[in-house]
Amino acid sequence: MPRKKILAVDDSQTILLQERAILGPAFDIVTAKTGEDGVGAALAEPPDLVLMDLEMPGISGLEATRRLRAQASTRTTPIILVTSHSEPESLEGAFVHGCTDYVIKPINEDELLLKVRSYLGE
Amino acid sequence: MSLEALPELDPSDLQEEGEKDGDEPLARARHHFRGFDRNGVPVVYLLPGELVAVGGDSQRTLTTILGSCVSVCLWDRRGRGGGMNHYLLPRRGPDTPRSGRYGDAAVSLLVSKVLALGADRRDLRAKIFGGAHVLASVPVGGRTLGNENVQVAVAALRDEGVQVVSEDVGGTRGRKLAFNTVDGTALVWRL
């Protein structure tokens, strides 16, 4: 069975490395460092799941999520917000903009892996 | 009641397994204070992995945001205390310490803390919220993280002998939850 593809969008190389270290053994990981690049990558080759940072240069993770939800190819793709913004307004906004779930930084390996597996139906 | 009139939260209001009584929980309780609800009850916001338990004389409205996570809301129907948790995963690994992050610990921790604050087990009632999942293709009752989180809550409350009076679980949307620790009322917004 082909490995599923995860698009990780974050302006922090450290976070991208961490996500790759946790998920790379089981999934193919594609990365983008801005919201615009993330949207472009997702539309060019739709992933099975997206990990989306909130604050990035250019458009925010919420705007990137909104744009992905507006396209047929990514309308139902699981998008997990990965953020250090734990205040309720940010998390509520994430769901309103179309995020599927959220993970609070610092990333907990078990949490991220289990959530990703669950949303990929594994 | 104004923000300046914020009452001191008891250190036991916000405490995780393994923490010492006193300093850190109180600091964090202040951090999570979110004003007052329309009835003048202090609102406390819970992050994933946290739990709050209060006595009957420290009424709180507890709020949180849930995706696949689950919150168990607990209160004494005679007003002797209540609380809420917010756990992320159903069960911990063999080498993982007990914490509010895992349902197999978070429910029993909550029950024990509410009882320690004066509640009577026979009068405890519970409500369960959360456990969403986005995949419409997953059959009802199928194995998802959200479903497993809910099942852990149901089993743990049964083991504790606590009656579950209502639940709003599953589905494909996140939830915003507000729970009153004294009268057990809960408001849920689908996000």
Is residue B93 very low, low, confident or very high in pLDDT (cuts 50, 70, 90)? confident
Could you list the residue range(s) of the whole structural domain that residue A103 is in? 5-119
On the question of pLDDT at B184 being above 50, the answer is: yes
**B176 alpha-carbon distance from chain centroid:** 12
What is the tally of structural domains in chain B? 1
Residue A84, domain CATH: 3.40.50.2300
Instruction: Let me know if residue B59 belongs to a domain.
Output: yes
CB contacts of B63 in chain A (<8 Å) are 88
User: How far is it, in rounded angstroms, from Cα B30 to Cα B47?
Assistant: 13
Instruction: Let me know if residue B33 belongs to a domain.
Output: no
What is the tally of structural domains in chain A? 1
Tens digit of pLDDT for each residue in A71-108? Answer: 999 999 999 999 999 999 999 999 999 999 999 999 99
Residue range B33-45: average pLDDT?
A: 91
Identity of the residue in B34, B101, B135 whose CB atom sits nearest the CB atom of A121: B135
CA distance A41 to chain B (A): 22
On the question of pLDDT at B31 being above 80, the answer is: no
User: How far is it, in rounded angstroms, from Cα B191 to Cα B175?
Assistant: 5
Q: Is B149 on the interface with A (CB under 8 A)?
A: no
Instruction: Let me know if residue B107 belongs to a domain.
Output: yes
pTM as predicted: 0.85
Residue B132, domain CATH: 3.30.1330.200
Structure ipTM: 0.87
Instruction: Let me know if residue B137 belongs to a domain.
Output: yes
Instruction: Let me know if residue B12 belongs to a domain.
Output: no
User: How far is it, in rounded angstroms, from Cα B84 to Cα B101?
Assistant: 13
On the question of pLDDT at B161 being above 60, the answer is: yes
Beta strand B42-45 with B61-66: parallel, antiparallel or unpaired?
Answer: parallel
Q: Cα dist. B17→A65, B2, B51, B54, B179 in Å?
A: 36, 32, 9, 15, 22
Q: Is B32 on the interface with A (CB under 8 A)?
A: no
Could you list the residue range(s) of the whole structural domain that residue B83 is in? 46-182
Poorest-confidence range of A47-56, A59-68, B19-28?
B19-28
User: How far is it, in rounded angstroms, from Cα B88 to Cα B67?
Assistant: 9
Closest CA to A83 of A57, A56, A63: A56
Q: Is B144 on the interface with A (CB under 8 A)?
A: yes
